[in-house]
């Protein structure tokens, strides 16, 4: 595993607060994305070339700006303008932009920067300019190792996103998912991890056994998932850095549907015994196992509230699959879904104010959100089959997977990762090398 | 030739089944009653006359009359083959969420295990595993395909 530790020393080149005229309204989705010009970062002439995968990156400044542009475009909140229309050269623009030139191409915000690469260090600085007010809004610099250049681009994206929207970004994050190949009746599944924009894919298991539902720990170093190793479906823990795997607990039957508690100390999961699935937790430090639900129905897909005080889960105790909320000790169980259809896979938003879920109604699958008391249900997307939403760390975007209907010969199956904004706008396919399912979004790698 | 004539016989037989089913059951097609699969495509045999699988209704784990008949034959076979152990695989169709389907598959496999135990088969000879929706036999996206995938399969343990 590549070192994800990034030495950041970020200092303010200029630290005077400016009055921003440029603002992004994030409540409305992508109806009116902000026109932004991302100038290629000026490459310091003394820089050495970066080699990656046997290829030499010609212009690292341009590559970084492209990664930033893709992030902005995919967010749906920004409209990165075509570089062909840029008049000013990157080096001069970074020192003092000619705002009239940028106004002419209708840019409201401008990003400029400079990058210096030595053998073992990459230093990048950027400035965000308010074109309308002709002012600098933020200026920062970062240092890291040259092979980590994409992370620098993501961190810059996050800083700009935060400056313009007032909320934390989600670009310096990763997605863990299940990579799928082979026919529908015999899928080969591997754990895979990638940057949120699909770059840097790595496969963490070989595909020898079925693996499902990986989820990050809050600190992103550990992953809990279900593995059919030796035909014994059990919850496992994987350290991404070291590759060390271990079974979670010693249960005499299938354990599944794992997730971490918000403090990262416990794993909550279902344990199936004699046809009955209940929810359990295991403290990873003390190894203490606690039974949380005790009901003859299927209780599964548990997810903690961000403060750790409550748990949402789905149960068919009413006859059909519905969503319930209870205290973290299993008391005070309350059903929150009463709409038409089945409800499953509840997952609490990192902000705590919403629960995302999958709804099945009249043979169609929906991803939706509702408040933790079940009110305010809003369905964001509808399809033949889709489920398992996972929140971006800022609670703005949901990632999930979608499977296609096969044709009359049973062919044409695929499973793909998709994302959609909380607003219900900006639905996007996330390109992966293979088919993919069960995505889980990490928290921000650098804060 | 033998297989060909057998196939012909099956086609005729299933056609007859289709016709009679249409005549008697309003909600059934040739291979389904309600939404439980009643045909014999995909079915394999543990021994002559002993079917390896039973089928379930959507989101249900109740055993139908036909299922109980199949399982009594499995139990009889198991009583004769005292040294053999068996694995009961529980499966679900693709129309549910993954985690719920894992639990549902486990519930179905246990319904079968419980029934076999009431016919004298020791629980220690019966291992249960759920595959949820992970291992469909029919890759189709039709009610018939789903009904074939909502199943529990008894296999000889290795």
Average pLDDT, rounded, for chain B: 87
Same-domain status, A263 and A147: no
Per-residue pLDDT band at A51 (split at 50, 70, 90): confident
Alpha carbon of residue A197 to chain centroid: 9
On whether residue A17 sits in a domain, the answer given is no
Q: What residue in A sits closest to B59 (Cα-Cα)?
A: A320
List, for residues A193-234, the tens digit of each pLDDT value: 999 999 999 999 999 999 999 999 999 999 999 999 999 999
Task: Tell me whether residue A24 is in a domain.
Answer: no
Burial class for A131, CB neighbours closer than 10 Å (0-12, 13-18, 19+)? buried
* A6 pLDDT more than 90: no
Q: Is A113 helix (H, G, I), strand (E, B) or coil?
A: strand
Closest CB to A410 among B110, B134, B139 = B139
Cβ atoms of residues A214 and A191 within 8 Å? yes
A182 and A154 within one domain: no
| Per-residue pLDDT at B84 exceeds 60 | yes
What is the distance between the alpha carbons of residues B155 and A319, in angstroms, rounded to a whole number? 30
Kindly state whether residues A178 and A77 are assigned to the same domain.
no
Query: What number of CA atoms fall less than 13 Å from residue A410's CA on the CB side?
Result: 14
Is A149 part of any domain? yes
Q: Which CATH superfamily is domain B31-156 in?
A: OmpA-like domain (3.30.1330.60)
State whether A154 and A190 are in the same domain. Answer: no
Answer yes or no: do A155 and A194 share one domain: no
Question: A406 to chain B nearest CA, in Å?
Answer: 5
> Among the listed ranges A7-21, A109-123, A141-155, A256-270, which one has the minimum average pLDDT value?
A7-21
Residue B83: C-alpha distances to residues B53, B124, B158 (Å): 21, 12, 12
Of A165, A198, A228, the residue at which a domain comes to its end is A165
pLDDT of residue A25: 60
Model confidence at B35, pLDDT cuts 50, 70, 90, reads very high
Quickly state the pLDDT bin for A58 (edges 50, 70, 90): confident
pLDDT, tens digit (0-9, with 9 covering 90-100), for A409-428: 999 999 999 999 999 999 99
Rounded CA-CA distance A441/A434 in Å is: 18
Task: Specify the pairing of strand A55-57 against strand A174-181.
Answer: unpaired
Q: Please indicate, yes or no, whether residues A157 and A195 belong to a single structural domain of this protein.
A: no
Percentage above 90 pLDDT, chain B: 80
Residue A253 pLDDT greater than 80, yes or no:
yes
Range of the domain at A345: 174-441
Q: Exposed/middle/buried for A177, CB within 10 Å: 0-12, 13-18, 19+? A: buried
Backbone CA torsion sign across A98, A103, A105, A111 = positive
- With respect to residue A59, please indicate whether it lies within any of the assigned structural domains: yes
Is B102 in the A-facing interface, judged by CB distances under 8 Å?
A: yes
Confidence of residue A185 (pLDDT cuts 50, 70, 90): very high
Q: Which of A425, A424, A443, A430 is nearest to A399 (CA)?
A: A430
Question: Mutate which of B85, B102, B124, B157 to disrupt the A interface (most A C-beta within 10 Å)?
Answer: B102
User: Could you give the 3-state DSSP secondary structure of residue B21?
Assistant: helix
Tokens linked to A296? 């003859």
Q: Can you tell me the mean pLDDT for B19-48?
A: 75
CA A436 – CA A415 distance, rounded (Å): 6
**A254/B contact by beta carbon, under 8 A:** yes
Question: A 281-320 residues with CB below 8 A of B?
Answer: 298, 300-301, 314, 316, 320
pLDDT at B21 over 70: no
Tell whether A245 is covered by a domain: yes
Whether the pLDDT of residue A265 is over 50: the answer is yes
**What's the mean pLDDT when you consider all of chain A?**
92
For residue A16, the surrounding DSSP H or E stretch is none
| Half-sphere exposure in the Cβ direction for B77 (13 Å, CA) | 20
Name chain B contacts of A356, Cβ cutoff 8 Å.
none
Q: Single out the residue in A165, A184, A217 at which a domain terminates.
A: A165
A306-311: long-range pairs with CB below 8 Å, 24+: A306/A262, A306/A348, A306/A349, A306/A350, A306/A351, A306/A352, A307/A262, A307/A352, A308/A261, A308/A262, A308/A263, A310/A348, A310/A372, A311/A268, A311/A279
User: How many other β-carbons are positioned within 10 Å of the β-carbon of residue B39?
Assistant: 18
Is A28 contained in some domain?
A: no
Q: Which of A92, A85, A80, A81 is nearest to A127 (CA)?
A: A92
> For residues A10 and B48, which has the higher predicted lDDT (pLDDT)?
B48
Select the more confidently predicted residue: A381 or A1.
A381
Q: What is the pLDDT of residue A32?
A: 83
Would you say residue A6 lies in a domain? no
Better-predicted residue by pLDDT, B16 or A117: A117
Closest CA to A395 of A265, A267, A306: A306
- Tokens 């900006």 belong to which residue? A426
Q: What is the mean pLDDT of residues A43-58?
A: 87
Same domain, A239 and A327: yes
Q: Residue A103 maps to which CATH number?
A: 3.40.50.10070
Of A352 and A15, the structure prediction assigns the larger pLDDT to: A352
What confidence score (pLDDT) does residue A26 get? 55
Gap between the Cα atoms of A140 and A169, Å rounded: 16
Burial class (CB in 10 A: 0-12, 13-18, 19+), B34: middle
Q: Are residues A138 and A85 in the same domain?
A: yes
Q: Decide if pLDDT at B26 tops 60.
A: no
B94 touches chain A (CB under 8 A): yes
pLDDT of residue A169: 96
In a domain, A446, yes or no: no
**Count of domains for chain A:** 2
Percent of chain B at pLDDT > 70 equals: 81
> What CATH number did the domain enclosing A240 receive?
2.120.10.30
Q: What is the pLDDT of residues A85-113, one digit of tens each?
A: 999 999 999 999 999 999 999 999 999 99
Taking the Cβ of residue B7 and every Cβ of chain A, the question of whether any pair is shorter than 8 Å is answered with no
Is residue A233 within 8 angstroms of chain B, CB to CB?
A: yes
Q: In the numeric block, which tokens belong to residue A79?
A: 């409209």
Distance of CA A275 to the CA centre of its chain: 34
Q: Give contacts of B107 with chain A, Cβ < 8 Å.
A: 272, 275-277, 298
CB pairs A-B closer than 8 Å? 106
Interface test with B, best of A298, A357, A389, A435 (most B CBs within 10 A): A298
Q: Which residue has the tokens 């409800």?
A: A343
Q: Please give the residue of chain B at the shortest CA–CA distance from A360.
A: B96
Residue A370 pLDDT greater than 70, yes or no: yes
* pLDDT of A18 higher than 80: no
Angstrom distance (rounded) from CA B34 to CA B23: 14
Residue ending a domain, choose from A165, A188, A212: A165
Q: Which helix (H) or strand (E) holds A428?
A: strand A428-430
């Amino acid at each position: 595993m590549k070192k994800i530790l990034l030495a950041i020393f970020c200092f303010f080149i200029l630290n005077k607060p400016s009055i921003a005229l440029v603002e992004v309204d994030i409540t409305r989705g992508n109806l009116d994305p902000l026109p932004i010009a991302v100038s290629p970062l000026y490459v310091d002439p003394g820089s050495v070339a970066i080699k990656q995968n046997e290829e030499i990156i010609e212009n690292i400044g341009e590559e970084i700006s492209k990664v930033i542009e893709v992030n902005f475009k995919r967010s749906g909140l920004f409209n990165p303008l075509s570089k062909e229309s840029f008049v000013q050269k990157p080096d001069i623009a970074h020192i003092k932009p000619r705002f009239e030139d940028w106004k002419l191409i209708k840019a409201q915000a401008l990003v400029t920067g400079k990058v210096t690469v030595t053998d073992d260090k990459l230093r990048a600085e950027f400035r965000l300019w308010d074109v309308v007010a002709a002012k600098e809004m933020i200026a920062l610099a970062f240092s890291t190792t040259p092979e980590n250049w994409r992370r620098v681009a993501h961190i810059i994206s996050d800083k700009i996103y935060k400056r313009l929207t007032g909320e934390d970004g989600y670009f310096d994050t990763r997605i863990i998912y299940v990579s799928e190949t082979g026919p529908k009746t015999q899928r080969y599944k591997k754990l895979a991890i990638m940057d949120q924009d699909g770059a840097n894919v790595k496969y963490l298991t070989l595909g020898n056994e079925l693996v499902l539902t990986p989820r990050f720990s809050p600190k992103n170093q550990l992953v809990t998932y279900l593995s059919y190793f030796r035909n014994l479906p059990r919850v496992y823990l994987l350290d991404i850095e070291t590759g060390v795997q271990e079974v979670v607990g010693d249960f005499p039957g299938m354990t599944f549907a794992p997730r971490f508690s918000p403090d990262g100390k416990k794993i909550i999961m279902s344990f199936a015994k004699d046809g009955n699935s209940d929810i359990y937790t295991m403290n990873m430090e003390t190894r203490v196992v606690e039974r949380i639900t005790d009901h003859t129905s299927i209780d599964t897909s548990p997810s903690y509230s961000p403060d750790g005080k409550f748990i949402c889960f789905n149960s068919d105790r009413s006859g059909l699959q519905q969503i319930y909320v209870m205290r973290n000790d299993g008391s005070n169980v309350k059903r929150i879904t009463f709409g038409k259809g089945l409800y499953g896979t509840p997952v609490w938003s990192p902000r705590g104010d919403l629960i995302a879920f999958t709804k099945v109604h009249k043979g169609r699958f929906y991803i939706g959100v509702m408040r933790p008391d079940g009110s305010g249900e809003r369905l964001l997307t509808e399809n033949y089959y889709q489920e398992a939403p996972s929140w971006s760390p800022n609670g703005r975007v949901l990632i999930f997977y979608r499977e296609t209907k096969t044709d009359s010969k049973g062919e044409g199956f695929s499973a793909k990762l998709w994302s959609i904004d909380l607003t219900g706008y900006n639905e996007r396919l996330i390109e992966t090398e293979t088919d993919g399912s069960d995505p889980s979004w990490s928290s921000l790698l650098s804060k | 030739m033998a297989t060909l004539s057998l196939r012909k016989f099956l086609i005729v037989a299933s056609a007859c089944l289709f016709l009679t089913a249409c005549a008697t059951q309003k909600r059934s097609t040739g291979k389904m009653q309600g939404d439980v699969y009643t045909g014999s495509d995909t079915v394999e045999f543990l021994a002559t006359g002993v079917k390896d699988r039973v089928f379930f209704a959507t989101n249900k784990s109740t055993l139908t009359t036909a299922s109980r008949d199949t399982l009594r034959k499995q139990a009889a076979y198991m009583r004769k083959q005292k040294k053999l152990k068996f694995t009961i695989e529980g499966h679900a169709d693709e129309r549910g969420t993954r985690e719920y389907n894992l639990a549902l598959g486990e519930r179905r496999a246990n319904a079968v295990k419980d029934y076999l135990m009431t016919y004298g088969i020791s629980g220690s000879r019966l291992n249960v595993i759920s595959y949820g929706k992970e291992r469909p036999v029919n890759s189709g996206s039709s009610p018939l395909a789903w009904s074939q995938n909502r199943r529990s399969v008894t296999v000889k343990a290795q």
